[in-house]
Amino acid sequence: MAERRKFKKRYCKYCESKVEYIDYKDLNALKFSLSERFKIMPRRLTGNCKKHQDMVTIAIKRARQTALIPYIVDRKNVIENPFEIIK
Ligand SMILES: [Zn+2]
């Protein structure tokens, strides 16, 4: 079916840059998988592979505990789409 998706290409960004381990302190890597409200993006949108999505999930949850990433975002503090910042 010729269905248009929001994220056209589906490939794992972490596999492409050959990331072996995602550290919770490496926010630049985590931002690939965070929405503008710092929610974890689902795999069906980012195209991450299972291995890296699991790593990202753990890393983001750790980063939240260490206050590197907010749990919730107020309406005032919503940043632009992190996907556009890191291009
Ligand atoms: Zn991957």
Tell me, in angstroms, the distance from the centre of ligand 1 to residue 15's CA: 4
Tell me, in angstroms, the distance from the centre of ligand 1 to residue 75's CA: 32
Rg (CA), the chain: 13
Give the per-residue pLDDT at 87: 43
**In degrees to the nearest 10, what's the CA dihedral of 55, 33, 26, 74?**
-120
Q: What domains can be seen in the chain, in order of their start residue?
A: 13-86 (4.10.640.10)
| pTM exceeding 0.85 | no
pLDDT by residue for the chain (87 residues), tens only, comes to 555 555 556 788 889 888 889 999 988 888 888 887 888 999 988 889 999 999 999 999 999 999 888 888 776 655 555 555 544
Tell me, in angstroms, the distance from the centre of ligand 1 to residue 64's CA: 22
